[in-house]
Amino acid sequence: MKVTIVGTGYVGLVTGACLAEIGNDVFCVDVDPRKIEILNNGGVPIHEPGLQEMLRRTRAAGRIQFSTDVKASVEHGDIQFIAVGTPPDEDGSADLQYVLAAARNIGKYSNGFKVIVDKSTVPVGTALQVKRVVEEELRARGLGESEKHGFSVVSNPEFLKEGAAVDDFMRPDRIVIGIDDDRAGNLAREKMKRLYTPFNRNHERTLYMDVRSAEFTKYAANAMLATRISFMNDLSNLADTVGADIESVRRGMGSDPRIGYHFLYAGCGYGGSCFPKDVQALAQTARENGHTLRVLEAVEAVNNDQKEVLVNKIVKRMGEDLRGRTFAVWGLAFKPNTDDMREASSRRIIEALLQRGATVRGYDPVARDEAERVFALDLADRPDDFQRLHLVNTQQDALTDADALVIVTEWKEFKSPDFWHLKSALKTPVIFDGRNLYEPEAMAEMGIDYFAIGRPHVELDRNGSHN
């Protein structure tokens, strides 16, 4: 099938590559010539495991192309995926300007019946706005409602985890499709069914529903996952106070099959491109419709506070004035297997340390370049602080002259370090672990002063052993 992907960001690239992988003829368009140049030169503007290899195969097979030619992209695809950004507006609502601009271009250049697929995460009612914009453009061309130039707007939200997006797309646990119940909708349903048939051969994974419910489903799913994270973080802070171990609590809770273990880990807060903005957008949708999602507003508040918890532990142990102190920070991206720095906890933590006069040596396996770009913007008006931030190439480089280690992202390579070497490399054997990677008792036995999230702190005696 001929498919067009509008937007070569995270969702657009993964969608385009995976659809090309199964044999479709895919045209990816973007208004950013820099991205298109990178892609046409064999590069990938984002880090996602397996994506570069897939793009290499599909490009060599001639099943995917990249261009800034909007007219050609609309003429190419019978199915037009809109996969552009929907950044949060000042009030937290999703900014739909890029979605509606894509819709306007489709209406402007449409050369036949088009299935217009909202792949971007958009609030309830967006499909209707897209429909009206396309209709306006068709009327301006004098085409009216003729079947030849008809269209149907479909909601097909993505459920991709950064770091595992290719696998999620190729082996989905569900495919949600929202379609209007009319003649155009029936045509669109047949095309979407054909497109996704390869993903349903062993088990039917497609859930058909009305458009508004499909739009709502994406936000509801992300809101639920964010709620689980904030709930565990809230419990972890109480565990710190009452002397409970949140890891033991987690195992006790997760063993209940009605609860399970997924997204049940305490840490230093969630980030990324989805949870923060989707929680805000759903809460704003509720307010616009006269409702208050009290649980969801608490979820956001807890997450905002959680990003300060590790800093508070550092200040309590090492003092408010951190001038002359150096901290090694392991992990900059908001989660492993990505270079995404959007809403990353490391940004808040590092800025707080710099504000208190500390020097920071940060390391991440893949996010160094993106982190350098982001911190240059974040600290543009604080040049003295920026001078004390050093982004390095290895774990060992980060430990150089460091008074303590701060772990922010749970990359695999951080899970089993040489603790004796780590201890000797640090000026003082102190670890602040925002992801609960290690066992407090084991750390104490090695003479490491270990502070985690919601886990008991085992005191060391003067000889460096624990009491």
| Catalytic positions, written as ranges | 274
Whole-angstrom distance, CA of residue 85 vs CA of residue 434: 30
- The annotation places the binding site for substrate at 159-162, 218, 263-267, 271, 335
Within a 13 Å sphere around the CA of 191, how many CA atoms are in the beta-carbon half? 26
Those residues whose C-beta lies under 8 Å from the C-beta of residue 180, and which sit 6 or more positions away, are 152, 153, 210, 211
Amino acid at 96: L
Helix (H) or strand (E) holding 114: strand 114-118
Three-state DSSP class for residue 161: coil
Annotated binding site: 30, 35, 86, 121, 159-162, 218, 263-267, 271, 277, 335, 342
Sign, CA dihedral 410-412-415-418, equals negative
Question: What is the SS3 assignment for 154?
Answer: strand
Annotated binding site for NAD(+): 30, 35, 86, 121, 162, 277, 342
H or E stretch covering 341: none
The C-alpha torsion from 115 through 38 and 410 to 167, rounded to 10°, is 40
Residues 6 or more apart whose Cβ sits within 8 Å of residue 455: 239, 245, 246, 247, 436, 440
Residues of 320-343 as b/e, b for ≥16 C-beta within 10 angstroms? eebeebbbbbbbbbbbbbbbbbbb
**Residue type at 89 in one-letter notation:** D
To the nearest 10 degrees (0 to 180), the angle between helices 368-378 and 345-355 is 50
Residue 406 in tokens: 């701060």
